[in-house]
Every structure is written in C-alpha cells, then in structure tokens.
Structure 1
Amino acid sequence: MSVEFLHPEGMLKQTDYSPVAVGTGTRLILLAGQAGVTPDFQPAAPDLAGQVEAALRNIVVGVRGAGGNAGDLARLTFYIVDWSVEMWDDVLTGIARVQQEEGLPKPAPPITIIGVQALFTPDFVVEIEATAVLN
C-alpha cells in the first residue's frame, strides 16, 4: 500500500477520517475538482449526500484511470456551497456509500472542507479535489 494513515499522539482523535497520511511511492496523482455529475455533465443527485457519493466515485474512476485504486487516495478537499456543520452527516453518508462499494479507506483519508459561495453551476453543491500516491 502506498498510503499509510496516522493519528499521532496529541492530535484530535477523529474517527471519520485520519488527520495524517504518509505517501510512499513513485507517482503522485493530482485530480482536478470533481463534482457529483454524470459523464454528460448532469447532476447525479439533487442532494449533498448523493453529490458527495457521485463526486467520490468520479475520483475513484480518475485514480483507476491512472493505474491506482481508492486505497491510494492520500487527501480529499471538499468545496461545499453554503457550508454549515449541520451538513456533516450528509457528507459522511456520501463517503460511507463509497467506502462500502468502491473500497475508499475507512477511516477516510485526511479531509478538508471549505465553504464556498457557489460552484460552476447552481445545480452543484459539492466539488472534491484529491491527491493519490501510487507505487
């Protein structure tokens, strides 16, 4: 495995994602922000949980296309329209679906959430950037 997740002593003990990822490999994969869209650029779902799920699936497709898998993901950055902490459960729901069906690590790689005013179109409520490390 090219990515190891750590919870160093003294850091907040998250259970949903790891605060530190150590990547050891020969290839760094940087994925552009992925929205929760279908290949024909239509929203995959009307809600945040569904769009998180679809965006993460798009990320997995990208990593696989570069020769890796979901276990090679080392970092996720979420851009969420009108973010509030009450949305966290919807984010976790979308993540859990991809963990179960696509092999996204559990706990998830390090996550950063950034609240934004808008994304490319008003139909998109989340966009996710990703970094993966491959051997």
Structure 2
Amino acid sequence: MSVERVNPAGLSPPSGFSHAVVATGSRLVFLAGQTALDADGKVVGDTLPEQFERALGNLLAALHAAGGAPADLVRVTVYVMDVAEYRAQAPQLGAVWGRLAGRDYPAMAVVGIVRLWDERALVELDGFAVLP
C-alpha cells in the first residue's frame, strides 16, 4: 500500500489532519462508528478526553483486528456533542491521537451533532483504511 498525504500550500496549514490522502492498496476497511463503550457495552469516562481516548482505542482495535494499523487510516470523521468543548480540548485530544495513532493523520472532519445512540456518549469516531 502507498499513502500520500496532500496539504496544498494555498490552504490553511493543517493541524491534526491532512487535507487529502491518496491511497492505493488492495483492501478497503470500513470502520463502524465507535464510542467509549467497554466490553460490557457501557460508556466509560465522564469527560470528552476520556471518552475520545476510549472511542479512538475502540476504532483502532477494530482496525487492528482487520489487519490494519493507524497509518493505514485514510479518513476519520469525529461526531461530537459540543464542538466548542472539542475545540477547547483540542490540544489534549491531539495528544491522545498522537499517543495512540501517531502523526500520520488521515483526512478528517469534526461534525457537531444533537445526540448519539447512547445518551452518555459525548463523541463517536468512524472511518476507513486502505490495506496492502
């Protein structure tokens, strides 16, 4: 697989995402939305950073089970209940991302939403990856 992260000079410098990702490979992995659920199906964590860490960990566990690694992610969407809080917590969330997924950022979007399936959930991540 080859991945090229494209960040044109004419666009605002990306921070924590890539403007575009060109990927070639033979397998696509579509990752379902993951929240901060534990193995018993209970939301864990009371804060956005705690829930983000668990949701990202769950997304990466699903990717790993499919044979992929964080660098294989080409697209991630973050659905969040409170965009202002997400922006305020961005440095801490970025540190969580770096620790769990590294610095090879996929194309990303953050979308403010009204609610998630589980009323205690503050954030959900989904995405897809391209594997060799």
Query: Common fold, TM-score beyond 0.5?
Result: yes
After the TM superposition, which residues 1-135 of structure 1 pair with which residues of structure 2 at under 5 Å, given as runs? 2-84=2-84, 86-100=85-99, 102=100, 104-106=101-103, 108-135=105-132
SS, match of residue 4 in structure 2 = strand
Q: What residue identity is the alignment partner of 2:95?
A: A
Greater mean alpha carbon deviation, residues 6-15 or residues 20-29: 6-15
Q: Is the Cα contact below 8 Å between 1:51 and 1:94 reproduced in 2?
A: no
Give the Cα separation in 2 of the matches to 1:9 and 1:128.
Answer: 28
Q: Is the Cα contact below 8 Å between 2:16 and 2:94 reproduced in 1?
A: no
Q: 1:14 to 1:98 in 2, by over 3 A?
A: closer
CA RMSD of aligned residues (A): 1.7
Q: What residue identity is the alignment partner of 1:77?
A: T
Gaps of 5+ in 1: none
Q: What residue identity is the alignment partner of 1:18?
A: S
Tell me the number of residue pairs that the alignment of Structure 1 and Structure 2 aligns.
Answer: 132
Q: Is the Cα contact below 8 Å between 1:73 and 1:130 reproduced in 2?
A: yes
Give the Cα separation in 1 of the matches to 2:126 and 2:52.
Answer: 12
Give the Cα separation in 1 of the matches to 2:36 and 2:22.
Answer: 27
Alpha-carbon deviation of 1:128?
A: 0.7
Q: 1:75 to 1:30 in 2, by over 3 A?
A: same
SS, match of residue 21 in structure 1 = strand
Give the Cα separation in 2 of the matches to 1:49 and 1:121.
Answer: 17
Q: TM-score, normalised by structure 1?
A: 0.88
Alpha-carbon deviation of 1:35?
A: 0.4
Give the Cα separation in 2 of the matches to 1:12 and 1:54.
Answer: 30
Q: What residue identity is the alignment partner of 1:21?
A: V
Gaps of 5+ in 2: none
Runs of 4+ in 1 over 3 A off after TM superposition: none
Aligned-pair identity in percent equals: 32
